[in-house]
Amino acid sequence: MTAPPIVRLGIRVRADRAEIALAQLLPILQAGAEEREVDGDVEYSLYAPVAELPRLDDIRALAGDAVIDVSTEPVPDGWERRWHDYLRPVTVGSFTIRPPWIEGAEEDLVIDPGPFFGAGTHPTTRVALRLLLDAEPGGPLCDWGAGTGVLSVAAARLGFGPVTAVEVDPGALEVIRANAVANGVEVATRWLNLAATAAPWAPTVVANLTRELLLVTADVVERPPRRLIASGILTREVDEVAAAFAPRGLRESARHTEGEWTAVALEATA
């Protein structure tokens, strides 16, 4: 059976509303999106068969008047790696994160995202990593929703261990394992749907998720960690997320903000 052709859906939004629009569009951009500047605006793109693309009404219902235009176009073979052309090295504290096809220093964190989105370029990863760099390293760490393994590999490099990366996409787990090997560290991987199953315990947890998933996790977690770094949330959502974990004995100890995004560190009070 021939696979259906892939098309690119471009969602063009106002530059001054881009970060908020991206957060609003997360329900339809769950795996991430290609981002580029177009005539002073920002365009987010996703790739899928026509039948799997979101409806225009759904896009506008989520992002409202931030949306300027929505377009589609057929794409050639290799669409799933097209966004790699936009990747650049990112420096966060003592770490420089880069893809393997860009030259750099031997000590750089080298992340190949494969067909997935996640190479340290999004603010949610950077603010989470800043809080991780501020934490005292050591002991087990679990990365809830590890993506391509940026935070997991960084944690192992910092001296946490054992490190476990949790992901719902089996393909992402393969990418995480490959990135761990490429950086000379050990990261165990585990398939888990955090929306349906309580997350595994570790004394330190990083969770670069969404507001909705963090709230679900706070409600169902069986044993809260001693330290939780929560990211993937807009600054205006941070207090709500922190409050959701308060009944679990966790209180805010620090936060980092970049643009519209904030990560918060929560510590056990007893």
104-136, pLDDT tens digit by residue? 888 999 988 766 655 666 788 889 999 999 999
Evaluate whether residue 191 is within a structural domain: yes
Whether residue 1 has pLDDT greater than 50:
no
Band (155; pLDDT cuts 50, 70, 90): very high
Residues 17 and 93 in one domain: no
Is 228 found in the same domain as 204? yes
153 and 45 belong to one structural domain: no
pLDDT band of 157, cuts 50, 70, 90: very high
CATH number at residue 45: 3.30.70.120
Look at residues 22, 47, 82 and tell me which one is the last residue of a structural domain: 82
Nearest to 142 by CA among 181, 109, 190, 195: 190
64 and 123 fall within a common domain: no
Domain end marker among 55, 82, 109: 82
Q: Which helix H or strand E contains 163, and what residues bound it?
A: strand 163-167
**Tokens encoding 206:** 């990083």
What is the structure's pLDDT at 242? Answer: 96
* Residue where a domain stops, chosen among 61, 82, 103: 82
- How much is the pLDDT for 143? 96
Q: Which residues lie below 8 Å from residue 4, measured CB to CB, with a gap of 6+?
A: 49, 50, 51
pLDDT of 250 strictly over 60:
yes
Domain around 61: 6-82
| Residue 1 forms part of a structural domain | no
Alpha carbon 251 to its chain's center: 23
| DSSP 8-state assignment for residue 187 | -
Q: 35-78, pLDDT tens digit by residue? A: 888 888 999 887 777 776 778 888 888 888 899 999 888 776 65
